[in-house]
A and B are shown apart, each in its own frame.
Chain A
Amino acid sequence: MQPLSAIPPRRDPAPSRAAYRMQRLWLTPLFRALMRVGLPAFAIMMVLGIYLSSESRRDALSGGFASLRDSFQERPQFMVGLLAIDGASPALAATIRATLNLALPQSSFDIDLDATRAQIEALDGVASADLRIKAGGILQADITERVPAVVWRGLANVELLDETGRRVRLVAARTDRADLPLVAGEGADKAVPEALQILAAAGPVMPRMRGLVRMGERRWDLVLDRGQRILLPTEAPVRALERLIALDQAEDLLKRDVLAIDLRLQDRPVLRLAPYALSEMRRARGIDTSESDL
């Protein structure tokens, strides 16, 4: 027998057991995927994890990033130095400035335009606002004011309402805005569009008009001078008023000594006469009421 420790052939084409096993392992799909994707991913995560495990490094990293961001955002090109308000009365403009309370100059990155606009539009006197940053560091606010349509004498104070019934502002007295019609009564602000329709239809009686009173949050009373009242129905008050005006023009109804005209029943308007007129009418008709309750 040849010695077992014989010199091996100079170049053995056979792979060693380790090389053979390694090649087979490398041909295993799972192992291959692990080596090609898993291992690099793990190495990257490992390096990142080790680097970020120290508090001071994390702080330095976040601080460096924050300072870089601040230095970029606070360049003069991005600074806003002026708030310009257009389309608002001086008093409203002052209110807006006071509400926003912007610390100018400020970087335009720090101004939240949507939130600021919502803040402006939340004010009573502003119908809509248009906010943008113009070149030259100007924050431009274009304001559309609410237009007051009626004066509402509520329970506590006198307010101006716009045509939708939104509050515009307080006034000290009704005479501050004598040009606007007056509405009164609880819940009147919720029915301002209807009141405006009634007022538009009440043209011929306008000179005698005192105002509209909301009754029971349900219907309107038209109050004229001399204490006369026109009780309008809940449904279709405008048509009832138009019929009354036609009646008035035909028969001069409102000039007579009538306390109230009740139009709540559509097919039967009811008049309430003044006491003197009533007794006169009874006397003329020969009705004696001296012994009855009437």
Chain B
Amino acid sequence: MTDLYQSQRAMRHMRRAAMQRGVIAILDVGSSKIACLILRFDGPERLREADGVGSMAGQSQFRVIGAATTRSRGVRFGEISVMNETERAIRTAVQAAQKMANVRVDHVIACFSGAEPRSYGLAGEWDLQDSVVTEQDVARVLAACDVPDIGEGREVLHAQPVNFALDHRTGLGDPRGQIGNRLACDMHLLSVEATVIQNLLYCIKRCDLELAGVASSAYVSGVSSLVEDEQELGAACIDMGGGSTGISVFIKKHMIYADAVRMGGDHVTSDISKGLQVPLAVAEKIKTKHGGVHATGMDDRDMIEISADSGDWEKDRRTVSRTELIGIMRPRVEEILEEARARLDAAGFDSLPSQQIVLTGGASQIPGLDGLAARILGQRVRLGRPLRVQGLPQAVTGPAFASAVGLCLFAAHPQDEWWDFDIPAERYPARSLKRAIKWFKDNW
């Protein structure tokens, strides 16, 4: 626990150092593509022309100065499976982005979608000594949360205080300075497989970069593609990626649940490949050009030529109707959405006041997906695109880059996590002097 606490703190310091330097890289390690964005922080003042609220409500304190994507290699289900290949892919993306930005970056914030994220809700209580809530009290109440057994070989990725309650008042965002007797807090803890993080860390280290933060891609896509009122009132973001589909539930601008379905667009492609007996590359091309989930009468007459280079004329000249293609794709997409539905139901999404569902990620671009999703997930479904950030090239504004853009916002405005607060004085063996002073203060 302390080890993770220290490493997360170290990453936070690294992030602060990178912000001071002004340049930081964003790395989205996905199963189908690896995206690298380079951000330059130059403060909100420099880009502001007039007084008042700045553009993008103050989010514009950074600017994207380099962007590159490359086909992902060696990543399956959002986890690194072949280290060398992934390292090469990361190098390609980072080098291209550096070339575009014409700066060297040393710090990188990364996100990934796999590693079987699991959410836990934690609660803690603390009796205040002197009726005013101080920062130390917040740290103590966070430390008082009883950590569940997250399992062997798992690490905490996010531990965010979601809610504070002071006596009978709940829903406090920041309890510091308030007066009460008993402080309680709810914390959301997201745990992932430790080996996945270690692999990612190793890959990034091999590229001479330093990790200044890690985030779950489900969380950061929610940050970028949910609009403010959705985040406030309660919404779920379903990030349909290549190898896995991330689910995150937000309320009151806090993530309260995250999960991942280990299925994504790549499975649709492999279904097409198997069904039509074509190579994966051709299947991917057919999926993106002609794919869909709703068959109409017109689609029976819409014949798709399947080119292949097997040398057999009969096999290379086949055609298939679009209805058949949809017939292959739809069950898989339905399966993914039903799985997501099951996860949301298990998380108690039904009891949220607003049940908005936002579909984002590369696989959400299948035509007709919103209609299908509405039948499975409920009526309040929309397709989401990430927020616009300054300097982002047009090519990377699509839903496939929701997590990369979300990571930019995460880099600029990270939420307070457990490790942003100091360890309470009681738990510091080295702070015995402070404890002695406190004892004197309390007894005289």
A interface, CB within 8 angstroms of B:
12-15, 17, 19-21, 23-24, 27-28
Question: Would you give 17 A-B contacts (Cβ < 8 Å), ordered by A?
Answer: A12-B88, A13-B70, A13-B92, A14-B88, A14-B89, A14-B91, A15-B92, A15-B95, A17-B91, A19-B95, A20-B91, A20-B95, A20-B208, A21-B208, A23-B98, A24-B104, A27-B103
Assuming the A-B contacts A20-B207, A21-B208, are A27 and B104 also in contact, with contact meaning beta carbons closer than 8 angstroms in the complex?
Answer: yes
Task: Say how far B335's CB is from chain A's closest CB, in angstroms.
Answer: 30
Using Cβ atoms and an 8 Å threshold, which residues of chain B touch A15?
A: 91-92, 95
Using Cβ atoms and an 8 Å threshold, which residues of chain B touch A23?
A: 95, 98-99
Task: Say how far B134's CB is from chain A's closest CB, in angstroms.
Answer: 44
- What residue in chain A is nearest B102 (Cβ atoms)? A27
In whole angstroms, what is the CA distance A24 to B106 when docked? Answer: 9
Using Cβ atoms and an 8 Å threshold, which residues of chain B touch A14?
A: 88-89, 91-92
In whole angstroms, what is the CA distance A12 to B207 when docked? Answer: 17
- What residue in chain B is nearest A20 (Cβ atoms)? B91
Task: Say how far A190's CB is from chain B's closest CB, in angstroms.
Answer: 77
Using Cβ atoms and an 8 Å threshold, which residues of chain A touch B94?
A: 20
0/1 string, B98-118, CB within 8 A of A gives 1: 110011100000000000000
In whole angstroms, what is the CA distance A17 to B91 when docked? Answer: 8
Determine whether the beta carbon of A24 is less than 8 Å from that of B208.
yes
In whole angstroms, what is the CA distance A15 to B102 when docked? Answer: 17
Category for how many chain B residues contact A = 10 to 19
User: With A27-B104, A28-B104 given, can you name 10 additional A-B contacts, CB distance below 8 Å?
Assistant: A14-B92, A15-B91, A15-B95, A19-B95, A20-B94, A20-B207, A21-B208, A23-B99, A24-B208, A27-B98
In whole angstroms, what is the CA distance A12 to B91 when docked? Answer: 12
Using Cβ atoms and an 8 Å threshold, which residues of chain A touch B208?
A: 20-21, 24
Using Cβ atoms and an 8 Å threshold, which residues of chain B touch A12?
A: 88
Determine whether the beta carbon of B91 is less than 8 Å from that of A24.
no
In whole angstroms, what is the CA distance A23 to B91 when docked? Answer: 11
- What residue in chain A is nearest B206 (Cβ atoms)? A17
Task: Say how far B365's CB is from chain A's closest CB, in angstroms.
Answer: 24
Task: Say how far A87's CB is from chain B's closest CB, in angstroms.
Answer: 76
In whole angstroms, what is the CA distance A69 to B99 when docked? Answer: 54
Task: Say how far B411's CB is from chain A's closest CB, in angstroms.
Answer: 20
Task: Say how far B338's CB is from chain A's closest CB, in angstroms.
Answer: 35
In whole angstroms, what is the CA distance A23 to B102 when docked? Answer: 10
- What residue in chain B is nearest A4 (Cβ atoms)? B84
- What residue in chain B is nearest A25 (Cβ atoms)? B104
In whole angstroms, what is the CA distance A249 to B103 when docked? Answer: 107
Residues of B58-115 at the interface with A, using a CB-CB cut-off of 8 Å, are 70, 88-89, 91-92, 94-95, 98-99, 102-104
In whole angstroms, what is the CA distance A12 to B89 when docked? Answer: 10
Using Cβ atoms and an 8 Å threshold, which residues of chain A touch B95?
A: 15, 19-20, 23
In whole angstroms, what is the CA distance A27 to B89 when docked? Answer: 20
In whole angstroms, what is the CA distance A219 to B256 when docked? Answer: 116
Using Cβ atoms and an 8 Å threshold, which residues of chain B touch A21?
A: 208
Task: Say how far B53's CB is from chain A's closest CB, in angstroms.
Answer: 35
Pick the 6 closest A-B CB pairs, nearest first. Answer: A14-B88, A27-B104, A14-B92, A20-B91, A15-B95, A24-B104
In whole angstroms, what is the CA distance A17 to B70 when docked? Answer: 17
In whole angstroms, what is the CA distance A17 to B209 when docked? Answer: 13
Task: Say how far B285's CB is from chain A's closest CB, in angstroms.
Answer: 19
Using Cβ atoms and an 8 Å threshold, which residues of chain B touch A13?
A: 70, 92
Using Cβ atoms and an 8 Å threshold, which residues of chain B touch A20?
A: 91, 94-95, 207-208
Using Cβ atoms and an 8 Å threshold, which residues of chain A touch B99?
A: 23
In whole angstroms, what is the CA distance A27 to B208 when docked? Answer: 14
- What residue in chain A is nearest B91 (Cβ atoms)? A20
Task: Say how far B210's CB is from chain A's closest CB, in angstroms.
Answer: 13
Using Cβ atoms and an 8 Å threshold, which residues of chain B touch A27?
A: 98, 102-104
In whole angstroms, what is the CA distance A21 to B91 when docked? Answer: 10
Using Cβ atoms and an 8 Å threshold, which residues of chain B touch A28?
A: 104
In whole angstroms, what is the CA distance A15 to B99 when docked? Answer: 12
In whole angstroms, what is the CA distance A291 to B89 when docked? Answer: 144
Determine whether the beta carbon of B98 is less than 8 Å from that of A24.
yes
Task: Say how far B47's CB is from chain A's closest CB, in angstroms.
Answer: 23
Task: Say how far B89's CB is from chain A's closest CB, in angstroms.
Answer: 7
In whole angstroms, what is the CA distance A119 to B122 when docked? Answer: 104
- What residue in chain A is nearest B71 (Cβ atoms)? A13
Task: Say how far A76's CB is from chain B's closest CB, in angstroms.
Answer: 63
In whole angstroms, what is the CA distance A19 to B98 when docked? Answer: 13
Task: Say how far A172's CB is from chain B's closest CB, in angstroms.
Answer: 94
